[in-house]
Amino acid sequence: MEQEQFVLSVIVQNRAGVLTRVSGLFSRRGFNIDSLTVGETENPEFSRMTIMATGDDYIKDQIVKQLGKLHEVRKIQLMEPENTVTRELMLIKVDARNGHRAEIMEAVHVFRAKAVDFTPKSIGIEITGEASKLNAFVEYVRPFGIIEMCRTGVTAIGRGTSCLATGE
């Protein structure tokens, strides 16, 4: 079977230890997490996990089944790419000492990013979008020198009226 990246949205109870149990489940089964974001939902009793992983249909099915066995898990949804909006946040610090400040700032403009820190030696940039956009930005600024970079991982929400509600 063909391996492909997929995104799961999981509603869990917002309490200590849940993240450990979810990540432990992946570890015990030998599944890798490519990306994981967690945040409180519109209801503070629940958190939403967005998990990106790679695998075939069997692995997807196993992950969904195993997550469903955890007491704190309320809902699980495999996010279909064509019906999902995905975004990622990246903060990146680029070397601006070699006279490339104008080129870097033009890239910030073209990629609809934002300069969030400006020093004589570097420019700190915030950029959001799909992973492909962030990857393209990284490749563009790499020749100038990347000093530091951090990415949040993917977060996702269904398009239109599709909703992963937090109710029981």
Amino acid letter, residue 130: E
Does 166 score more than 70 pLDDT? no
What's the token pair of residue 135?
């990857």
DSSP E strand boundaries for 80-163? 84-95, 114-118, 122-129, 146-151, 155-158
Q: What's residue 86's pLDDT?
A: 92
Q: What's residue 165's pLDDT?
A: 66
Does 136 score more than 90 pLDDT? yes
Tens digit of pLDDT for each residue in 79-108? 998 999 999 999 999 999 988 999 999 999
Average predicted confidence (pLDDT) for the chain: 92
Question: Who wins on pLDDT, 167 or 98?
Answer: 98
Distance CA 40, CA 6 (A): 22
Count of C-beta atoms within a 10 Å radius of residue 132? 9
Does 168 score more than 60 pLDDT? no
Average pLDDT over residues 140-155: 95
Amino acid letter, residue 10: V
Tens digit of pLDDT for each residue in 32-88? 899 999 999 999 999 999 999 998 999 899 999 999 999 999 999 999 989 999 999
Specify whether the backbone of 69 is left (phi greater than 0), alpha (psi in -120 to 50) or beta. alpha
| CA contacts within 13 A on the Cβ side of 37 | 19
Q: What's residue 27's pLDDT?
A: 87
Phi, psi dihedral angles at 67 (to 5 degrees):
-60, -40
Tens digit of pLDDT for each residue in 9-30? 999 999 999 999 999 988 888 8
Q: What's residue 162's pLDDT?
A: 73
Average pLDDT over residues 122-139: 96
Count of C-beta atoms within a 10 Å radius of residue 7? 20
The model's pTM is: 0.83
Q: What's residue 38's pLDDT?
A: 94
All structural domains of the chain, each given as residue ranges with its CATH number in brackets, are 4-79 (3.30.70.260), 85-155 (3.30.70.1150)
